[in-house]
Amino acid sequence: MEKPEKLMVDGKRLDGRGPEELRPLKIQAGVLKRADGSAYIEMGNNKVLAAVYGPRELHPRHLQQPDTAVLRCKYNMAPFSVDDRKRPGPDRRSVEISKVIREAFEPVVFTKLYPRSGIDVFMEVLQADAGTRTAAINAAAVALADAGIPMRDLVSAVSVGKVEGTIVLDLIKEEDQYGTTDMPVAMLPRKKVITLLQMDGHLTQDEFERALALAMRGCEQIYEAQKAALKAKYATKPEEE
Amino acid sequence: MYEIVSSVKRDYIADLARQNKRTDGRTLDQLREVSVESGLIKSAQGSALVKIGNTQVLAGVKVEKGEPFPDTPESGVLMVNAELRPIAAPTFELGPPDENSIELARVVDRGIRESESIDLDKLGITPGEEVWMVYIDLHALDHDGNLLDASSLAAAAALWNIKKPEVEGWTLDQFPVQKKPIAVTVVKIGDKLIVDPSLDEENVMDARLTITTTEDGSICAIQKGGTGYLTVEEIKAAYELARAKAAELREHLK
């Protein structure tokens, strides 16, 4: 990927968006036959599938907890999802991302209802264009709801960053790589609290507060799309009545 | 990494926190005693042993020649690795790095990389062929809580401990280190925020937020952890705490 001469021209970004606009968003619930719940998301050029299996008996059994279900999240990138082929299998990055995604969902899933069992969330990035962990979270939240897992709230996520001095929402690959800062945020949309927050780059206190507020506004828009996807799956179609 | 804690102890710690107290008598925003000893390891180009309370982390830096990454052919390479060896705690196991040691290494890495603590552009040798590789290895020796902050401080101290690397082919006058990024972990227990969590506090925490700041108080890395959530007010308060405590910890790098 060549470094573009400028990442922003006249307040517009490389793909024509303003600083505070999300990329086109498409979410579909219940896309896989065998999984207990599933969802597919397109966030700009990101394409991510999420599947939920469980609650089910947890193996190996020594991992079982007598008082709660164990939530397991696995984020994985397909080898062909990025410009240079990625070696298949977990790497340090995906291990860390899987951990923070699990921690983003722990506060919402009623794990105590299912002692000794496991709830598995698998996220596969099929095509990547920055912000894959947030896309994976958005899909996983819908997949968990689609699986009928009791939850306190959905989880909505988006990344914000700083590009040539401007705080922008929902970064693309070029902005992630050549911009100054990337900050993924996950929020519980009803309670308006943060369950995932990471950042690398440079932000002053004022920039940080503006970036966080912008991310939360972005999450609210994503929440509407997530709800719409769930409603679309369970809507009664007139001809079925 | 989290150990099982009895509900009695859990409630005790949470109750104390509610009264702005802690099991070891500290105030909520008080660090344990901190010490930094630099240059203990002669076989490393830079090293530092950091103690925060009973927690001990040894960091060693090795500088070696190696191949650059294709997308930065003229820049040196920074690698951070963390070993949570079984010597440091009964819950640490042998084997390949687990998610906790990977997260630890990556959070420390991000602080150093994103603050541009090392001027990697000065570490090229032959563009596209040979550059200096800087390996920071973090070795946990005794885990009594807050390995993250101890590791971050040890990494920074070890980098600043490098004077002129005694390696063949080194031509620069000194090692190009230029910033002092410091990670401070703020832990939430109930609705209270505390700094420098002890092991027990870490085991009962709801959530943690690690914020790495540089000398001017700006942020270069953040990592939220733990199974709970944080409100916007808590995040802002954690930042204030992190900035103040980073300044205290940075005093130990002089």
Query: What global pTM score does this model have?
Result: 0.94
Question: Distance (Å, rounded) from C-alpha B74 to C-alpha B170?
Answer: 16
Residues of B in contact with A201 (CB under 8 A): 114, 220
* pLDDT per position as a tens digit, B154-163: 999 999 999 8
Ranges of each domain in chain B: 7-253
Minimal C-alpha gap between A107 and chain B (Å): 5
Residue ranges of E strands in B14-54: 34-38, 46-52
* pLDDT per position as a tens digit, B62-87: 999 999 999 899 999 999 999 999 99
Percentage of chain A with pLDDT > 70? 99
The answer on pLDDT for B223 being more than 50 is yes
Q: Across the interface, do A196 and B114 touch by the CB < 8 Å criterion?
A: no
pLDDT band at A241 (very low <50, low <70, confident <90, very high): low
How is domain B7-253 classified at the CATH fold level? Ribosomal Protein S5; domain 2 (3.30.230)
Give me the pLDDT at residue B1, please: 47
Mean pLDDT rounded to a whole number for chain B: 95
Give me the pLDDT at residue A95, please: 97
CA distances from B156 to A136, A157, B46, B183 (A): 34, 32, 10, 10
Give domain status of residue A84, yes or no. yes
Residues of B in contact with A93 (CB under 8 A): 106
Residues of B in contact with A68 (CB under 8 A): none
CATH classification at residue A160: 3.30.230.70
Could you tell me the two tokens for A208?
């940080």
Residues 47-106 of chain B with CB under 8 A from chain A are: 97, 99, 102-103, 105-106
- For B212, left (φ over 0), alpha (ψ -120 to 50), or beta? beta
Minimal C-alpha gap between B41 and chain A (Å): 28
Minimal C-alpha gap between B25 and chain A (Å): 30
Question: Distance (Å, rounded) from C-alpha B12 to C-alpha B10?
Answer: 5
- The number of residues making up chain B comes to 254
Give domain status of residue A69, yes or no. yes
The parent domain of residue A28 ranges over: 16-234
Q: How confident is the model over B90-98, as a mean pLDDT? A: 91
Give domain status of residue A240, yes or no. no
Question: Distance (Å, rounded) from C-alpha A219 to C-alpha A50?
Answer: 18
Structural domain count, chain A: 1
